Amino acid sequence: MSTSMPAARPLFDYPKYWAECFGPAPFLPMSREEMDLLGWDSCDVIIVTGDAYVDHPSFGMAIIGRLLEAQGFRVGIISQPDWHSKDDFMKLGKPNLFYGVAAGNMDSMINRYTADRKIRSDDAYTPGGVAGKRPDRASAVYSQRCREAYKDVPIVLGGIEASLRRIAHYDYWQDKVRHSLLLDAKADILLFGNAERAIVEVAQRISRGETVQSITDVRGTAFVRKDTPEGWFELDSTRIDRPGKVDKIINPYVNTQDTSACAVEQAKGDDKAAAAATVDEVQVLQLLPHPRLERDRTVIRLPSFEKVRNDPVLYAHANRVLHLETNPGNARALVQRHAEKDVWFNPPPIPLTTEEMDYIFGLPYARIPHPAYGGEKIPAYEMIRFSVNIMRGCFGGCTFCSITEHEGRIIQNRSHDSIIREIEEIRDKVPGFTGVISDLGGPTANMYRIACKSPEIEAACRKPSCVFPGICENLNTDHSSLIGLYRKARELPGVKKILIASGLRYDLAVESPEYVKELVTHHVGGYLKIAPEHTEEGPLTRMMKPGIGSYDRFKQMFEKYSKEAGKEQYLIPYFIAAHPGTTDEDMMNLALWLKRNGFRADQVQAFYPSPMATATAMYHSGKNPLRKVTYKSDGVNVVKGERQRRLHKAFLRYHDPKNWPLLRDALQEMGRSDLIGNSKQHLIPTHQPAGESYHSSRRKNSTPAGSRKAGRILTQHTGLPPRDTGAGKKPRKGSRPAR
């Protein structure tokens, strides 16, 4: 059996479809008028998306649309359609090949609801930030309307909502397990993960006359099958990770289909005399084939939808097995029964090469929103229009995060030349550029060009994280290529500053003091946000995050190099409340840590159970899928009640007087009344101040009057000391600058 990553056909190695003669469009059309101007009588592919159409490589519809255009297909965009009827889904006419449907850059439920299940007041992916422009479960709704519009047109699902809902999944908003999205949407095929390889292969084959139902051999796809095809070895997931009670071990040389022989083996130890009387009848008929010998023709059968819906332990087991089969180098196909149908999941897509990444990011993006929006601001675009994505993927494996499930844990990198060209394009073409690149990053700022030292080990590895519980000995942590990129980028004419805004993996960064010095000296805009997430071992272990000691090491290096550079800069740590595995005592200890270190958290992040995440399986089942799951295995403390969730958030905002009554009651119940008092050593005061209320610095950027060391407390929102709002006052010598 090969231990290297399977080969994949390069994206730029396909013959072009006949419509290549039309060339690239200034923007992919969103109306028949635009199609007429391009000389098109119809679209080959129509992409339906829940986001506003921004022709920029940070937006999924732009990447997929431009990639298909480069393959020679005519691609139209239906952005944020009115889903109450089929009319908007027909405005570009009937697509010749298929509809491509996606909810947008976010899961539509996470986009619309907060962690407390309250409707959000805005939508960053809509012009003007207006909320309510997409339906709940947008992928399913859009698919149904496409089917109503043209019932014979294939529907191809994609995007992060499709990735995270491809199997039977726990839905936080309904508090139940739902079917695979493929079935709920009644789509023909679902593409999960980064779908460039799959969408090009599917489009090419449909254009050659193949039916979408016949396309069952493309990696990164899910589809419906009636039965396991001939020539495949089906392996029950409980054989590789058995949940529940362990049965007595049966002689491996017994044919388990021979019921009398099995009865003999099962009777051993219970009735030795009866067993001895019939043991002569045992015959060895066959050896079961070893699944490792036929890995590429093996499919693992997960517990059915009906079983995982009714049994949280089996749900946790299925989630664990799925995550064990995510390495493209060794993953096997999966299948899960839903009533009378099998939903089949091929192995994940092969990661893109650097040449393919350069090809995708070098496509002719306009880099601005479609003119149909009349220049109205789209908040998500405003955030990223001067940023550059240098890589994909994350090998951190944080259990609450969905990046690994969608982009994979193998880092896919662009070349220096490709990145520099994009910076030059921003400088020369994007309106409003002032010389500041807001980010060179990706899912993680400093995983660029970091990978396993051995391709063979990488292809065979089944670990969910390369950096937990410590950095893997096989991981190359060399940051030199990233340092070189930073230096090239800031030397470009017309570029004044290169900032790094993506999340930093500080436990990796401390392995390269040169990188930390480079970052702190040249690329921090006054503050740097990092995410230790917690201080206590219990929740950190369930998150698969490093201990707070790694944060302390990084903080020392950050402060040292800031001082050497003559800069006053601040580290702003982010934390999660109510994560599975967190107790009230854990949150209390975190609050004490925050107070000792002078942090006041204005934006509190509560755990949000996103579909398919490992932490979501913990939340639903009360079990830990990071270890073998059984009915008797240790449970995970889960924070579900509204009062306890509010309490955990209140500990993070211990400084807010609105939270003091709840904290007083909780501390008394916990036997920690010693933390209630009016000295510096106490967490909260004894009495509620009359008429005093807390004003978030998010709104006012100022420290409440009378607070300890006014002007010196760091805020999580700004990362800087609150601004002195006294009119006409001159800053004291040595005071911190207002930003």
Which residue among 226, 244, 273 closes a domain? Answer: 226
Residue 421 is encoded by which pair of tokens? 């060209």
CB 356 within 8 A of CB 334: no
CB 571 within 8 A of CB 530: yes
38 and 63: one domain? yes
Q: What CATH number does the domain containing 141 carry?
A: 3.40.50.280
Q: At what angle do helices 642-652 and 660-669 cross, to 10 degrees?
A: 110
575 and 449: one domain? no
Q: Splitting the chain (739 residues) into consecutive groups of 10 residues, what average pLDDT does each group show? A: 72 95 97 98 98 97 98 98 98 98 97 95 97 97 98 97 97 97 98 96 98 97 93 87 53 46 46 41 48 77 97 96 95 96 97 98 97 96 96 96 90 98 96 96 95 94 94 96 98 96 94 97 92 95 95 96 95 94 97 93 88 96 94 93 95 95 97 94 90 46 38 38 40 37
Residue 40 is encoded by which pair of tokens? 């098109």
Chain length of the chain: 739
103 and 203: one domain? yes
509 and 565: one domain? no
3-class SS letters over 9-38:
CCHHHCCCCHHHHHCCCCCCCCCHHHHHHH
Please work out, in degrees rounded to the nearest 5, the angle formed at the alpha carbon of residue 296 by the alpha carbons of 294 and 302: 95
Nearest to 696 by CA among 574, 588, 599, 600: 600
611 and 530: one domain? yes
Residue 684: inside a domain, yes or no? yes
Is the alpha carbon torsion for 168, 172, 176, 181 positive or negative?
A: negative
Q: Which pLDDT does position 248 carry in this prediction?
A: 44
Judge whether 452 is annotated as a binding position. no
95 and 36: one domain? yes
Q: Which pLDDT does position 539 carry in this prediction?
A: 97
Q: Which pLDDT does position 325 carry in this prediction?
A: 94
Q: What CATH number does the domain containing 476 carry?
A: 3.30.750.210
Q: Which pLDDT does position 703 carry in this prediction?
A: 36
501 and 635: one domain? no
Judge whether 472 is annotated as a binding position. no
Q: Which pLDDT does position 721 carry in this prediction?
A: 40
Q: Which pLDDT does position 725 carry in this prediction?
A: 36
Residue 192: half-sphere exposure toward Cβ, Cα within 13 Å: 29
Residue 250: inside a domain, yes or no? no
Q: How far apart are CA 101 and CA 59, in angstroms?
A: 14
Q: Which pLDDT does position 294 carry in this prediction?
A: 77
621 and 483: one domain? no
Residue 208: half-sphere exposure toward Cβ, Cα within 13 Å: 12
Our CA dihedral for 647, 650, 652, 653, rounded to 10 degrees, sits at: 180
Residue 34: inside a domain, yes or no? yes
Name residue 671's amino acid.
G
Q: How far apart are CA 574 and CA 587, in angstroms?
A: 14
Which residues neighbour 603 within 8 Å (Cβ) at sequence distance 6 or greater? 698, 716, 717
Judge whether 262 is annotated as a binding position. no
Which residues neighbour 297 within 8 Å (Cβ) at sequence distance 6 or greater? 231, 232, 233
116 and 200: one domain? yes
Reported pTM: 0.87
Q: Which domain holds residue 457?
A: 386-523
Residue 162: inside a domain, yes or no? yes
483 and 532: one domain? no
Residue 679: inside a domain, yes or no? yes
83 and 160: one domain? yes
Q: At what angle do helices 614-621 and 312-324 cross, to 10 degrees?
A: 170
Q: What CATH number does the domain containing 628 carry?
A: 3.30.750
Residue 139: half-sphere exposure toward Cβ, Cα within 13 Å: 35
- Say whether 176 sits in a helix, a strand or coil: strand
Q: Which pLDDT does position 418 carry in this prediction?
A: 98
Residue 261: half-sphere exposure toward Cβ, Cα within 13 Å: 16
3-class SS letters over 370-394:
CHHHCCCCCHHHHHHCCEEECEECC
Q: How many CB atoms within 10 Å of residue 55?
A: 22
Residue 52 is encoded by which pair of tokens? 């506003």
Distances (CA, A) of 633 to 371, 378, 443, 492: 57, 48, 33, 57
Residue 162: half-sphere exposure toward Cβ, Cα within 13 Å: 36
Q: How far apart are CA 171 and CA 22, in angstroms?
A: 44
3-class SS letters over 205-264:
HHHCCCCHHHCCCCCCEEEEECCCCCCCEEEEHHHHCCCCCCCCCCCCCCCCCCHHHHHH
Q: How far apart are CA 524 and CA 515, in angstroms?
A: 12
* Helices H / strands E in the chain, number of each: 26, 25
Residue with tokens 């005093």: 692
Name residue 609's amino acid.
P
Q: Which pLDDT does position 296 carry in this prediction?
A: 86
List, in sequence order, the alpha helices (H) in 305-444.
305-310, 312-324, 354-361, 379-384, 403-407, 416-429
Beta-sheet pairing, 333-338 with 298-302 = parallel
Residue 544: inside a domain, yes or no? no
Longest dimension (CA), the chain: 102
Q: Which pLDDT does position 268 carry in this prediction?
A: 46
Number of domains in the chain: 3
Residue 553: inside a domain, yes or no? no
446 and 396: one domain? yes
